[in-house]
Structure 1
Amino acid sequence: MIQYIKRKDLDVEKYDACIENSIQSRIYAFSWYLDIVAENWGVLVLDDYKAVMPIPWKKKYGIKYCAQPLFSQQLGVFSIEKITESLQEQMITIVSDKFVKFSLNFNADNSLTSKNIVSMKNYILELNLPYETLFKSFSKGRKHAVKVGEKKNLSIKNTTIAALINIQNKFYNYPGFSAKKLSEISKTTLKTNNGLVLGVFKDDVLIGGGLFLKSNNRITYLFSAFIDEGRKLQAASFLIKSIIKRNENSNFILDFEGGNLPNTAIFFKGFGAKFEEYQQFTSRKFPFNLGFFNK
């Protein structure tokens, strides 16, 4: 049986256990993470938390709609055991019928066949080999970029998310960026040793850095920011090379969390990363009765 459970009525222990042990596990789906990034959320639950589908939602003019939260690339269905495409489609139908607008990114381990699907791009790199072997798979451009950083004596040290947010505010203009949510993600993950904020330094001056999240066997490159000099000195490539080297010969996968923009795809692919497809489902309608989601 599939039922919708509001956040306040959720068995958090069972829900998080399902996310932790699921085939599709992603850090974005844990209850504490959704509490930070989603304005509101509930969950479709199969039986006794055998499978779950978190539903982030907002309200505008009194009408609820489902929208992908910031800092959460992939959500969708999470299950302890492999589930059928028909069950995934059934869960989508239950939810999409209750919202005027429903837009959600499913994870790469989900498989959807609906006509309302758009394919999205991501890149991942398995870190189960020595760094020297992984480096051989870098493109000519990325190898050169890494060597530029080494020649310029760049160094990697821990830094603060506040310092990187300052760089973001000064050198970037991203509508909708939330320093508050990013700070909370960093604060929470650093406490639990699931987060790492690394800075790239030139002569002890911070020229950029990034926030990396660890969950199960996945390292997610969630956020980065670089000053103009940092970009000139190839600080981004030097940072990624450093995280790859730190985790060589491990069972971790480095999730670059991007690739839809052509230049970004070329950049990440240059580290020997492989393409990972995930799907975005979108539907629009105006039902006369929005059902149990509006109760």
Structure 2
Amino acid sequence: MLFQINHITHKNIDKAAYDKCIADAPNRLVYAFSWYLDIVSPNWNALIVNDYEAVMPLPFKSKLGLRHLYQPWFSQQLGVFGKVHDIDSNSLFNLLKKHYLFGHFSMNASNDFRFQHAKEKQRLNLLLDLKRSYAQIQQSYSKNHLRNIEKANSAELNLTHDLSVESFITLYQESDLQKKVGWTKKHIKQLQQLILKAEELNKGILIGVEHNNALIAATFVLIDEKRISYLFPITLEKGYALGAQFFLIDALFKEHAPTEKVFDFEGSSVEGIARFYRGFGVRQEIFNQISFGFRLNKTIQL
């Protein structure tokens, strides 16, 4: 099959055609839709195969006229979406090198492109299929997880869907994540915009856990046609002590199973967090992180 790949700048992207390609793609991810990219990386470009048969969104930054590709916050995987089987890896990579000085970004788990002279690092993602009943899913929990959920239930925790963006951000500021993650005001603003837009499109919800009417844990969950993404969990010290995140994840399974969706834990590369997720009986997938070109950020702050 003949194919032509074009580099299209943001203002020239037909977003209706682009979004249709993402929506119809067997490997669709919510991070790749134009509404999402417009928030996390305004002015993103794209590689377009033929008449939007396949697309690759290209978040980039630029300083002193030098452009480089990067992976935006709140988007674990991007890469190529659509009819990807006949796309030549070299043609794709040559276009990236032509338009960008260097890059550090993630493909998606369905992409098996091999780029010559690029560094590849395998990254781990953890998933749980929600096709089974809630009772069947619980049978896959570790004994430790079952004990913690029983402990949380005995603590009389309450699940709340009545949670504002402001309350979620305040919880983040009160938690130890503020020191660990170190968001800038720009990142907080992006997250606020994401939550509000996702709620407007019925693509996301805020869920919290309360104890004695006080919020002790919460998360923002993205809900797409095929996937529920556990985007950003936050827990206070008291929430850890009472097993709030065990309670919250278990409640999400109870709400959404059985369904054809996959629950996406979004990693993690942190062993303690990965071990926590594995206790729910997950399966793993691998996606590649790509780096190419000479990074100048030691001398020029990009």
Q: What TM-score do the two structures reach when normalised by structure 2? A: 0.90
Q: Residue 137 of structure 2 corresponds to which residue in structure 1? A: 134
Give the whole-Å Cα distance in 1 for the aligned partners of 2:264 and 2:90.
26
The equivalent position to 2:171 in structure 1, one of 167, 172, 178, is 167
Query: Match of 1:40, SS?
Result: coil
- Contact kept, 8 Å, 1:36 with 1:181, in 2: the verdict is yes
CA drift of 1:176 comes to 3.6
CA drift of 1:164 comes to 1.8
Deviations 1:232-281 (A, max 9, x none): 11111111101111011110100001221111111111111111111101
Q: Residue 157 of structure 1 corresponds to which residue in structure 2? A: 160
Give the whole-Å Cα distance in 1 for the aligned partners of 2:88 and 2:142.
41
CA drift of 1:89 comes to 4.4
The equivalent position to 2:258 in structure 1, one of 243, 249, 258, is 249
Give the whole-Å Cα distance in 2 for the aligned partners of 1:40 and 1:198.
31
> Taking every aligned residue pair, what percent have the same amino acid on both sides?
30
Change (3 A) 1:206 1:90: same
Please say if 1:31 is aligned against 2:34.
Answer: yes
Give the whole-Å Cα distance in 2 for the aligned partners of 1:145 and 1:161.
28
CA drift of 1:82 comes to 4.6
Please say if 1:266 is aligned against 2:275.
Answer: yes
Structure 1 runs not aligned, ≥5 long: 287-295
Q: What does 1:1-40 align with in structure 2 at a 5 Å threshold?
A: 1-40=4-43
Structure 2 runs not aligned, ≥5 long: 296-302
- Contact kept, 8 Å, 1:103 with 1:280, in 2: the verdict is yes
- Contact kept, 8 Å, 2:7 with 2:45, in 1: the verdict is yes
Change (3 A) 1:197 1:258: same
Given residue 109 of structure 1, which amino acid in structure 2 is its aligned partner?
S
Give the whole-Å Cα distance in 2 for the aligned partners of 1:148 and 1:64.
51
- Contact kept, 8 Å, 1:156 with 1:200, in 2: the verdict is yes
- Contact kept, 8 Å, 2:7 with 2:95, in 1: the verdict is no
Range 263-272 or range 42-51, more displaced: 263-272
Q: Residue 300 of structure 2 corresponds to which residue in structure 1? A: none
Give the whole-Å Cα distance in 2 for the aligned partners of 1:44 and 1:190.
29
- Contact kept, 8 Å, 2:227 with 2:262, in 1: the verdict is yes
Give the whole-Å Cα distance in 1 for the aligned partners of 2:64 and 2:147.
53
Deviations 1:118-153 (A, max 9, x none): 000010000011111100101122111211110101
- Contact kept, 8 Å, 2:89 with 2:114, in 1: the verdict is no
Q: What does 1:7-156 align with in structure 2 at a 5 Å threshold?
A: 7-79=10-82, 81-84=83-86, 87-114=88-115, 116-156=119-159
Query: Match of 1:25, SS?
Result: coil
Please say if 1:218 is aligned against 2:231.
Answer: no
Query: Match of 2:99, SS?
Result: coil
Q: Residue 281 of structure 1 corresponds to which residue in structure 2? A: 290
Give the whole-Å Cα distance in 1 for the aligned partners of 2:31 and 2:215.
28
Query: Match of 2:144, SS?
Result: helix
Deviations 1:28-72 (A, max 9, x none): 000010000014310000000000000000012331111100000
Query: Match of 1:231, SS?
Result: helix
CA drift of 1:113 comes to 3.0
